A and B are shown apart, each in its own frame.
Chain A
Amino acid sequence: MRSLYILVILCLGSTTLYSQKFTISGYIKDARTGESLIGASIIDLRTLLGTTSNTHGFFSITLSQDSVELVFSYVGYKRKPIKLFLSQNYVFNINLEGKLLEEVIIDGSQAEAIHETSSMSVFTIPIDQIKSLPALLGETDILKALQLMPGVQSGSEGSTGLYVRGGGADQNLILLDGVPIYNASHLFGFFSVFNADAINHVELTKGGFPARYGGRISSVVDINMKEGSMKELKGEGSIGLISSKFTIEGPIKKNKTSFIASARRTYVDIIAQPIIKSQSSGSKRGYYFYDVNLKFNHTIDSKNHLYLSTYFGDDKAYSKGKTSYFDINSNTTIDTKNEFDLMWGNIIGAFRWNHIFGSKLFSNITTTYSRYRFRVGQKFDEIVNTPGLPIENTFYGNQYTSEIRDWTAKMDFDYLPNPNHFIRFGVNNIFHKFAPGVYTYNSSTEGDTTAGAETTHAYELSFYFEDDWKISDLIKVNAGVHTSGFAVDNEVYYSIQPRVSSRLLLSRDLALKASYSAMTQYIHLLTNAGIGLPTDLWVSSTARIKPQQANQVALGLAKTYKEKYELSLETYYKAMKNLIEYKDGASYLNVDNDWQDNVVTNGKGKSYGLEILLQKKTGKTTGWFGYTLSKTTRQFDQLNFGKEFPYKYERRHDISLAIMHKFNKKIELSLVWVFGTGYAITIPIAVYEGSSNNFDTRYVNSSRVTYYGDRNSYRMKSYHRLDLSCSWKKEKKWGQRAWTVAIYNVYNRLNPYFIDLGLDKNNNLQFIEYSLFPIMPSVSYSFKF
Chain B
Amino acid sequence: MKIITSVFLAFFIYSSCTNVVDIDQNLKKPIVTINALFRADNTWQISVTRSRNILGNMYGNYFFPVDSAVVTIYDNNGLLVETLTYSYDSSFRYYYNGNTTPVLGKTYTVKVQIENEFTIRAMSNVPLPVQISSIELDSSRYKITGEDIDMSITFNDVAGEKNYYCVKILRDAFYLKDEDTVRFVEDVYYEPVDPAFQNDFTDGLTTLIRDNLFDGDSYQFRLHMAPSFNVGNTESLRVALLSVSEEYYQYFTTKNLQTNSSEDPFSQPTQVFSNIENGIGIFAGYSVSTIKL
B19 with A750: CB separation less than 8 A: yes
Binding-face segment, B6-14, B74-82, B108-116, B132-140: B6-14
Of A691, A706, A763, the contact of B54 (CB 8 Å cutoff): A706
* B103 cross-chain contacts in A, Cβ below 8 A: none
Check if B54 sits within 8 Å of A342, measured CB to CB. Answer: no
Q: Does B58 contact A (CB under 8 A)?
A: yes
Quick one: given A686-B53, A688-B63, A699-B93, are A763 and B58 in contact (CB under 8 Å)? yes
Residue of chain B at shortest CB distance from A694: B187
A753→B271 contact, CB < 8 A: no
Contact A689 B35 (CB under 8 A): yes
B198, closest chain A residue (CB): A592
A695 on the interface (CB 8 Å rule)?
A: yes
CB-CB < 8 A to B178: which residues of A?
none
Q: Which of B12, B273, B282 has the most CB of A within 10 A?
A: B12
Do A707 and B51 form a contact, CB below 8 Å, given A376-B1, A688-B31, A771-B17? yes
Question: Residues of B at under 8 Å CB distance from A?
Answer: 1-4, 7-8, 11-12, 15-23, 25-27, 30-31, 33, 35-37, 42, 45, 47, 49-59, 61, 63, 89, 91, 93, 166, 168, 170, 184-187, 195-196, 198-200, 203, 205-206, 240, 251-252, 254-255, 257-258, 260-262, 264-273, 280-282
Residues of chain A lying within 8 A (CB to CB) of residue B251: 691
In the assembled complex, A714 has its CB within 8 A of some CB on chain B: yes
Return 25 A-B CB contacts under 8 Å, by A number: A287-B11, A342-B7, A533-B266, A535-B4, A584-B257, A585-B270, A589-B2, A641-B273, A685-B54, A688-B51, A689-B47, A690-B255, A690-B272, A691-B35, A691-B37, A691-B251, A695-B168, A696-B186, A699-B89, A705-B272, A708-B271, A753-B16, A767-B22, A771-B16, A772-B17
Beyond A582-B267, A695-B240, is A765–B55 a contact (Cβ under 8 Å)?
yes
Closest-by-CB residue of B relative to A188 is B8
Min CB–CB distance A716 → chain B (angstroms):
9
Given A695-B185, A704-B61, A762-B57: A709 in contact with B17 (beta carbons within 8 A): no
Is A770 a contact of B17 with CB atoms below 8 Å? yes
Q: At the interface, yes or no: A602 with Cβ under 8 Å from chain B?
A: no
A774 to B18, CA, bound (A): 11
Partner among A689, A696, A760, A766 whose Cβ is within 8 Å of the Cβ of B63: A689
Q: Which residues of B contact A317 (CB under 8 A)?
A: 7
Task: Report the bound CA distance from A585 to B17 in whole Å.
Answer: 27
Contact of B21 among A287, A690, A768 (CB under 8 A): A768
Q: A772 to B11: give the CA distance in the assembly, Å.
A: 10
Given contacts A688-B49, A690-B255, A700-B35, 10 further A-B contacts (CB under 8 A): A585-B260, A682-B268, A687-B51, A687-B52, A687-B56, A691-B282, A750-B17, A762-B57, A771-B19, A773-B15
Residues of A within 8 A of B282 (CB): 691
Q: Tell me if A684 counts as interface (CB < 8 A to partner B).
A: yes
- Quick check: B268 and A584 within 8 Å, CB to CB? yes
Inter-chain contact A688/B52, CB cutoff 8 Å: yes
Q: Is A65 an interface residue, CB under 8 A from the partner?
A: no
B4 touches A768 (CB 8 A): no
Q: Does A281 contact B (CB under 8 A)?
A: no
* Cross-chain contact of B58 among A582, A708, A764 (Cβ < 8 A): A764
CB contacts (< 8 Å) of A589 on chain B: these are 1-2, 264
Which chain B positions have C-beta within 8 A of A698?
A: 37, 42, 45
Identify the 9 closest CB pairs spanning chains A and B, nearest first.
A585-B261, A528-B266, A688-B51, A696-B185, A584-B270, A585-B257, A689-B63, A686-B51, A688-B33
Return chain A residues, CB-CB under 8 Å to B12.
753, 770, 772
A702 located at the interface, meaning its Cβ lies under 8 Å from any Cβ of chain B in the complex = yes
Q: How far is the CA of A307 from the CA of B28 in the complex (A)?
A: 65
Interface of B is mostly: mixed
**CB < 8 Å neighbour of B3 from A340, A528, A702:** A340
Interchain CA distance A696-B91 in the complex, whole Å: 15
User: What residues of chain A have their CB less than 8 Å away from a CB belonging to chain B?
Assistant: 187-188, 287, 317, 340, 342, 376, 378, 400, 439, 528-529, 533-535, 582, 584-593, 597, 640-641, 682-691, 693-696, 698-700, 702-709, 711, 713-714, 717, 750, 753, 755-760, 762-774
Compute how far the CA of A684 lies from the CA of B170 in the bound complex, rounded to whole angstroms.
35
Question: Judging by beta carbons under 8 Å apart, are B47 and A585 in contact?
Answer: no
Given contacts A376-B3, A585-B258, A689-B281, contact A694 B23 (CB under 8 A): no
Contacts of A684 on B, CB cut-off 8 Å? Answer: 54, 269
Chain B nearest CB: distance from A284 CB in Å? 15
Query: Assuming the A-B contacts A689-B63, A696-B185, are A767 and B20 also in contact, with contact meaning beta carbons closer than 8 angstroms in the complex?
Result: yes
The listed residue (B16, B22, B195, B261) touching A584 by CB distance below 8 A is: B261
Chain A residues with Cβ under 8 A from B91's Cβ? 699
Please name all residues of chain A whose beta carbon is closer than 8 Å to the beta carbon of B200 when the two chains form the complex: 585
Contact of B269 among A188, A682, A690, A762 (CB under 8 A): A682
- Give the residues in chain A near B55, CB-CB below 8 Å: 764-767
Q: In the bound complex, do residue A690 and residue B35 qualify as a contact, i.e. CB atoms below 8 Å apart?
A: yes
Query: Are B54 and A705 in contact, CB atoms less than 8 angstroms apart?
Result: no
Q: What separation, in Å, do the CA atoms of A760 and B22 have in the docked complex? A: 13
Asked if A693 and B203 make an inter-chain contact with CB atoms under 8 angstroms apart, the answer reads yes
Contact of A687 among B19, B54, B184 (CB under 8 A): B54
The answer to whether A695 and B187 have CB atoms under 8 Å apart is yes
Q: In the bound complex, do residue B54 and residue A757 qualify as a contact, i.e. CB atoms below 8 Å apart?
A: yes
The CA of A476 and the CA of B99, in the complex, are separated in Å by 81
Contacts of A713 in B (CB 8 A): 26
Contact between A587 and B266, CB atoms less than 8 A apart = yes
B58 pairs with A770, CB closer than 8 A: no
Report the Cα distance A535→B271, complex, angstroms.
25
**Cα–Cα, bound, A533→B185 (Å):** 47
| Contact A587 B25, beta carbon cutoff 8 Å | no
B61 & A706 in contact (Cβ 8 Å cutoff): no
Closest CB in chain B relative to A687 CB, distance in Å:
5
Our pick among A534, A685, A693 for the contact of B206 (Cβ within 8 Å) is: A693
Q: Nearest chain-B residue to A378 (Cβ)?
A: B3
Distance in angstroms between the alpha carbons of A770 and B200 in the assembled complex:
30
Chain A CB within 10 Å, residue with most, of B16, B198, B280: B16
B61 touches A342 (CB 8 A): no
CB of A774 to closest CB in B, whole Å: 6
From the candidates A188, A689, A765, A771, name the one contacting B18 in the complex (CB within 8 A): A771
CB distance from B191 to the nearest CB of A (A): 13
Which A residues touch B17, using CB under 8 A?
Answer: 750, 770-772, 774
For the complex, what is the distance from the CA of A691 to the CA of B95, rounded to whole Å? Answer: 13
- Chain B residues with CB under 8 A of A687: 51-52, 54, 56
B47 near A700: Cβ-Cβ < 8 Å: yes
Chain A nearest CB, measured from B271 CB (Å):
5
* Most interface-central of A378, A687, A773 (chain B CB within 10 A): A687
Q: Which chain B residues lie closer than 8 Å to A585 at the CB level?
A: 199-200, 257-258, 260-261, 264, 267-268, 270
Q: How far is the CA of A683 from the CA of B54 in the complex (A)?
A: 10
Nearest to A773 among chain B residues (CB) is B15
- Which of these, B19, B252, B270, B271, contacts A769 with CB under 8 Å? B19
**Are B52 and A686 interface neighbours, CB within 8 A?**
yes
Contact in complex: B271, A711 (CB < 8 Å): yes
A690 to B, closest residue via Cβ:
B255
Contact A765 B58, beta carbon cutoff 8 Å: yes
Nearest A-chain residue to B13, judged by Cβ: A770
Is the pair A765, B52 in contact by a Cβ cutoff of 8 Å?
no
CA distance A631 to B120 in the complex (A): 34
A771–B170 Cα distance when bound, in Å, is: 50
In the assembled complex, the CB of B84 is this many whole angstroms from the nearest CB of chain A, namely 14
- Most B C-beta atoms less than 10 A away, residue of A640, A708, A717, A768: A708
Q: Which residues of A contact B58 (CB under 8 A)?
A: 759, 763-765
A770→B91 CA distance, assembly (Å): 43
Given A529-B266, A709-B27, are A342 and B4 also a contact pair (CB < 8 Å)? yes
Across the interface, name the chain B residue whose C-beta is closest to A398. Answer: B1
The listed residue (A685, A690, A699, A760) touching B26 by CB distance below 8 A is A685
B271 near A591 with CB under 8 A, answer no
A688–B199 touching, CB < 8 Å: no
A704 cross-chain contacts in B, Cβ below 8 A: 61, 63
In the complex, chain B residues whose CB is within 8 Å of the CB of A695 = 168, 170, 185, 187, 240
The chain A residue with its CB closest to the CB of B15 is A772
